[in-house]
With several copies, the nearest count.
Chain A
Amino acid sequence: MLETCIGKLKLEKPGMVASGIMDETGASMVRMLESGAGAVVTKSIGLEPNAGHANPTFTEVKGGFVNAMGLPNPGIKMFKEEMNIAVPKGKIIGSIYGASADDFSKLAITMEEYGASAVELNLSCPHAKGYGMELGTDPKLVGSIVSAVKSAVKIPVWAKLTPNTHILTDIGVAVQDAGGDAVVAINTLKAMVISPEFAKPFLSNKFGGLSGPGIKSVGVRAVYDLGSVLDIPIIGVGGIADWRDAAQYIMAGASAFQIGSAIANKGPTIFDTINKDMIKFMRDFGYSSILDMVGVAHE
């Protein structure tokens, strides 16, 4: 009942772990798979090891979290070990970030070798200079990166989009036109927290990204907007904490969803809970599969 597919990729359960949350190590990815996630998206991996920004990198705010981890990761080479542990246990989506089409292609090829079920291009991180949303708000650049990666690998290529733009649907169309297999929306919102007493931005990077419950209605709208213009599948992410949140994304047009922040407070069992509640909802309201629900709010 919970099976879904994102293009040709089948998932037994519609919920994935979002990139950056409990997915930097093989063992924690396995834990998430065992907790009822249909797939795990890895932490975004780059060509070289990266320590990320210095602490403070994270803080709670009303309505969510603001983080500027700065894409810490051991680099694609060392990440092999983690993939070796995780891949045999379930579907792993390799999230990657780079500064050019070439970077992305190299990383994607390696992720494919490691056994990733798909790659997710991080075109949306709002707090890493020269990466992420700095690339992801230029439709032409986005198109050229997606094209390059598409011709480099056989596994599906997803593009993760930023909501911090008024041309979101143009970016989505650019991904589709370049042959991208799916879009993932949304990454975090550009944000900042200032400590009045110290008269300074709190994060070492000054800027960060807002995630969590407060961004859910922004993400649902992004998916709905994308659903109005795209034919390729959409994956919804942003503020999901229960089945209702997930159902909103699906009805807005998402074939699957990802969860990040809510894992902090609700723990990995959140996937099981949502799976059970979703089945109950589907039974009560006569949906026989997730795909039956996709985009119904457009009608």
Chain B
Amino acid sequence: MSDFVKIIGVNEEAYDTKTFEFQWDEKAIPGQFIMVWVPGMEEIPMSLSKTGRIKSITVKAIGASTRKLHELTIGDSLRIRGPYGKGFDLTKGKKILIIGGGVGTASVMPAIKESGADAIIGARTNKDVIMDDLGHKYAKNLWISTDDGSMGFHGNAVQLMREKVAENNYEIIIACGPEIMLYYIYQACVELNLDCQLSLERHMKCGAGICGCCVIDDQRVCKDGPVFTKEQISKMKDFGVQKRDECGRILKFR
């Protein structure tokens, strides 16, 4: 349900990314998201980057609304609703490798914490790496990849994943990040015969599974997802190929 919460902590994760903490008693599981609003911005979806009693969102400033959120400080308030969506299923007893790409790292951090699994954080440069402190704390092993090699592995997260999968017998990949990254992770999982759970994004309005604007094929990202299984993804024609704008028009990724 909807609620009004006060920001009790702000953490700068990177030059363009901030975490906002608040107390909120709703139960949430790793991978779920909320809709966030303050006057003067559009309401937008944000993954929970902490899912305990103290919760948080981790916001990358990329446009008007996320920049508006970046103006907030301790004592300011948010109107939030949720939590929405299906989170990660960590109960399968399989050996997990968790991958966060860019700000997608925020979304998988609660899963890293809850599972204590091995994890990879992928980013463009060392300046874009976020939450590696928490990652080191919660993951059994944490590896970092940067596209320019300025930190950790030199290359993208999918390349690093392939390397780590070769070294360890992971059975399932859990990941959140840019769709292009997820697309290659999915391809790798098919090739290597690994299971996976990927957290996807689409333009959201209701967040509650009713308006239908966030669909990938016939699946509502907000309600049937945002975390989808390998089997669900295997049926998606849109995945990695196209999305829809606010009008419902098709936009090709490439």
**Chain A–chain B contact at Cβ < 8 A:** yes
User: Does A75 contact B218, Cβ atoms closer than 8 Å?
Assistant: no
B230 at the interface (CB under 8 A from A): no
- Which residues of chain A in 65-82 are interfacial with respect to chain B, using CB atoms and an 8 Å cutoff? 65, 67, 69, 72-75, 78, 81
- The segment out of B7-15, B16-24, B96-104, B205-213 that lies at the interface is B205-213
Q: Hey, which chain A residues are within 8 Å of B2, CB to CB?
A: 59-60
Q: Measured between C-beta atoms, what is the minimum distance from A53 to chain B in Å?
A: 9
A9 within 8 A of B: no
B24 CB to nearest chain A CB (Å): 14
The answer to the question of B244 belonging to the interface, with a C-beta cut-off of 8 Å to chain A, is yes
User: In whole angstroms, how far apart are the Cα atoms of A84 and B77 in the complex?
Assistant: 46
A139 at interface (Cβ–Cβ under 8 A)? no
Asked whether B212 lies within 8 Å of A21 as measured between CB atoms, the reply is: yes
B249 near A55 (CB under 8 angstroms)?
Answer: no
Q: Is there contact, CB below 8 Å, between A65 and B208?
A: yes
B contact residues around A198 at 8 Å (CB): 38-39, 77, 79
Whether A25 and B43, one on each chain, are in contact in the complex, defined by CB atoms closer than 8 angstroms, is no
With a cutoff of 8 Å between Cβ atoms, the chain B residues found around residue A57 in the complex are: 43, 205-206, 211
Given the known A-B contacts A52-B205, A263-B209, A264-B210, are A72 and B37 also in contact in the complex, defined by CB atoms under 8 Å?
no
Q: Could you tell me if B37 and A56 are in contact, using CB atoms closer than 8 angstroms?
A: yes
Q: How far is the CB of B37 from chain A (nearest CB, A)?
A: 5
B247 and A74: CB pair below 8 A? yes
B206 touches A73 (CB 8 A): no
Contacts of B249 in A (CB 8 A): 49, 74, 78
Q: Give residues of chain A (41-58) contacting chain B, Cβ–Cβ below 8 Å.
A: 43, 49-52, 54-58
Interface members, chain B 31-82 (any A CB < 8 Å): 35, 37-39, 42-44, 77, 79, 81
Given A55-B44, A200-B39, A202-B79; A72-B248 close (CB under 8 Å): yes
CB distance A43 to B209 under 8 Å? Answer: no
**CB-contacts of A111-167 with B (<8 A):** none
Residue among B4, B205, B245, B250 having the largest count of chain A Cβ atoms under 10 Å: B205
A206 neighbours in B (Cβ, 8 Å): none
Interface majority SS (helix, strand, loop, mixed), chain B: loop
A58 and B213 contacting across the interface, CB-CB below 8 Å = no
Residues of A within 8 A of B245 (CB): 51
> Is the CB of B133 closer than 8 A to any CB of chain A?
no
CB of B210 within 8 A of CB of A23, answer no
Q: Which residue of A lies closest to B208 (CB)?
A: A264
Q: Are A28 and B212 in contact (CB under 8 A)?
A: yes
Is B26 interfacial (CB-CB < 8 Å)? no
Question: A56-B43, A195-B79, A198-B38 are contacts. A22–B1 as well, Cβ < 8 Å?
Answer: no
Chain A: which residue is nearest B37 at the CB level?
Answer: A56
CB neighbours of A58 from chain B (8 A): 205-208, 210-211
Is B163 in contact with chain A by the CB < 8 A criterion? no
Q: Which residues of B contact A (CB under 8 A)?
A: 1-2, 4, 35, 37-39, 42-44, 77, 79, 81, 204-213, 215, 217-218, 220, 223, 244-250
23 inter-chain pairs at a CB distance below 8 angstroms, sorted by A residue, are: A22-B212, A23-B212, A24-B248, A25-B212, A25-B215, A27-B218, A28-B217, A43-B212, A55-B43, A55-B205, A56-B37, A58-B208, A60-B1, A72-B247, A72-B248, A75-B247, A78-B249, A195-B4, A195-B79, A198-B77, A263-B210, A264-B208, A267-B209
Residues of A whose CB lies within 8 Å of any CB of B are 20-25, 27-28, 30-31, 43, 49-52, 54-60, 65, 67, 69, 72-75, 78, 81, 195, 197-198, 200, 202, 204, 260-261, 263-265, 267
Closest A-B pairs by Cβ, 9 of them:
A31-B218, A56-B43, A51-B246, A264-B210, A58-B206, A55-B43, A27-B218, A22-B212, A55-B42
